[in-house]
């Protein structure tokens, strides 16, 4: 999961009598989730949806967690031999998707970055006295990475992977929340629920309308104590994901280290970039792209998004230390006045 910039679902005004909105909340994948939906004529009950969510998240964590003992991914990462490893359909499809995203982004999203993330301890970076890895440690760890050295295939028995580097660590955290939002959306649609907003750890998927309006997502000013809204996006049948560094970082010798690693250097991203928000049809794609574009840095990431015609909103710090927005032209239609 990318570290999402603080955002919220905003209410929209309507001149019609509003329909009743249902809410579901909980915690999963190390973060909170919120689902807002209008039941319409569906026959599925809230209790049945809650039961589905519980089973879905437990299964997903059992397959993809890097912190849960004996998860399928932990077992795979613990296999220190280069050979064919059978994996479940869920894990296989995620790894296959991540491989394609790694290729598309030139390795700025790298599914095999788990070792370098562990070295920098990006899961808990806010430390009083952080230990910064030395160059020898970084270079040695980089030798355990390389998405091109991981093969994923499928035959009549299902998915399998082959690790050309035995001690490689696969990390799916940057797309798992987005994947979850997509799967939940598919379930709700299958139950006849067409108007909903899903938020899994700050990654959003919207469908239909919030009464008579598009869904509004408010992106907070990351440095405002009152949580003022910096920009608002309109979403209808779209997804949005954000990667940012304004909370989860370490600072030493006046250098601010993001929790997002550039796989090419093996070091956290430095510079003026605060966050990257991406709009896509699929939340999993938005999730992965937000991480990759942040890892590229402001200039390279913006040019990549411009060339690929990706709707992107960057929050950057200017020379005076104030925040500014940079948006590709494809993001303009989603910006609310």
pLDDT in 10s for each residue of the chain, 337 residues: 443 444 555 555 444 545 789 999 999 998 999 999 999 999 999 999 999 999 999 999 999 998 888 899 999 998 887 678 999 999 999 999 999 999 999 999 999 999 998 888 755 444 444 567 889 999 999 999 999 999 999 999 999 999 999 889 999 999 999 999 999 999 999 999 999 999 999 999 999 999 989 999 998 887 777 778 899 999 999 999 999 855 545 555 555 556 788 999 998 888 889 999 999 999 999 999 999 999 999 999 999 999 999 999 999 988 888 899 999 999 999 999 6
Neighbours of 90 (CB within 10 A): 17
Neighbours of 272 (CB within 10 A): 15
Distances (CA, A) of 228 to 78, 219, 221, 224, 295: 44, 9, 6, 6, 26
Q: Which residues pair with 219 in a beta bridge?
A: 7, 231
Provide the residue ranges of all domains of the chain, joining segments of one domain with +. Answer: 71-173
Residues in the chain: 337
Integer Cα distance of 210 and 10 in angstroms: 10
Picking from 72, 141, 68, the residue whose alpha carbon sits closest to that of residue 110 is 141
Picking from 308, 291, 235, the residue whose alpha carbon sits closest to that of residue 9 is 235
pLDDT score of 108: 96
pLDDT score of 6: 47
**Residue 102 Cα to chain centre, angstroms:** 14
pLDDT score of 75: 93
pLDDT score of 322: 87
Three-point CA angle 180, 86, 262, nearest 5°: 55
pLDDT score of 126: 47
Distances (CA, A) of 166 to 66, 80, 327: 17, 4, 41
Q: Which residues pair with 31 in a beta bridge?
A: 28
pLDDT score of 245: 59
Distances (CA, A) of 280 to 142, 309, 331, 334: 31, 11, 10, 11
Neighbours of 32 (CB within 10 A): 13
pLDDT score of 249: 52
Q: Does domain 71-173 have CATH number 1.10.3980.10?
A: yes
Find out whether 127 and 51 touch, Cβ atoms under 8 Å: no
């Amino acid at each position: 999961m990318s570290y999402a910039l603080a955002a919220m679902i905003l209410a929209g005004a309507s001149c019609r009598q509003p329909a009743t909105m249902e809410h579901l909340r909980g915690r999963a994948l190390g973060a909170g989730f919120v689902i807002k939906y209008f039941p319409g004529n569906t026959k599925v009950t809230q209790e049945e949806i809650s039961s589905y969510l519980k089973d879905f998240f437990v299964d997903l964590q059992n397959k993809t967690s890097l912190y849960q003992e004996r998860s399928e991914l932990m077992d795979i990462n613990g296999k220190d031999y280069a050979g064919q490893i059978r994996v479940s359909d869920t894990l296989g499809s995620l790894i296959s998707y991540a491989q394609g995203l790694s290729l598309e982004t030139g390795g700025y999203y790298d599914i095999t970055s788990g070792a370098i993330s562990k070295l920098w301890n990006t899961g808990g970076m806010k430390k009083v006295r952080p230990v910064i890895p030395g160059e020898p440690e970084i270079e040695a760890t980089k030798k355990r990475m390389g998405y091109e050295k991981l093969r994923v295939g499928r035959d009549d028995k299902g998915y399998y992977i082959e690790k050309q580097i035995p001690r490689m660590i696969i990390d799916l955290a940057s797309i798992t929340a987005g994947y979850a939002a997509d799967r939940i959306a598919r379930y709700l649609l299958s139950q006849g629920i067409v108007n909903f907003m899903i938020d899994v750890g700050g990654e959003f998927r919207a469908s239909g309308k919030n009464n008579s309006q598009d869904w509004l997502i408010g992106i907070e000013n990351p440095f405002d104590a009152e949580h003022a809204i910096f920009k608002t996006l309109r979403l209808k049948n779209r997804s949005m994901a954000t990667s940012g560094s304004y909370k989860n970082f370490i600072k030493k010798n006046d250098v601010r280290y993001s929790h997002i690693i550039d796989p090419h250097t093996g070091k956290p991203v430095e510079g003026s970039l605060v966050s990257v928000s991406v709009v896509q049809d699929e939340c999993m794609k938005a999730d992965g792209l937000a991480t990759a574009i942040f890892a590229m840095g402001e200039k390279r990431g913006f040019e990549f998004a411009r060339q690929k015609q990706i709707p992107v909103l960057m929050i950057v710090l200017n020379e005076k230390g104030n925040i500014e927005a940079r948006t590709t032209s494809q993001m303009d239609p989603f910006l609310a006045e």
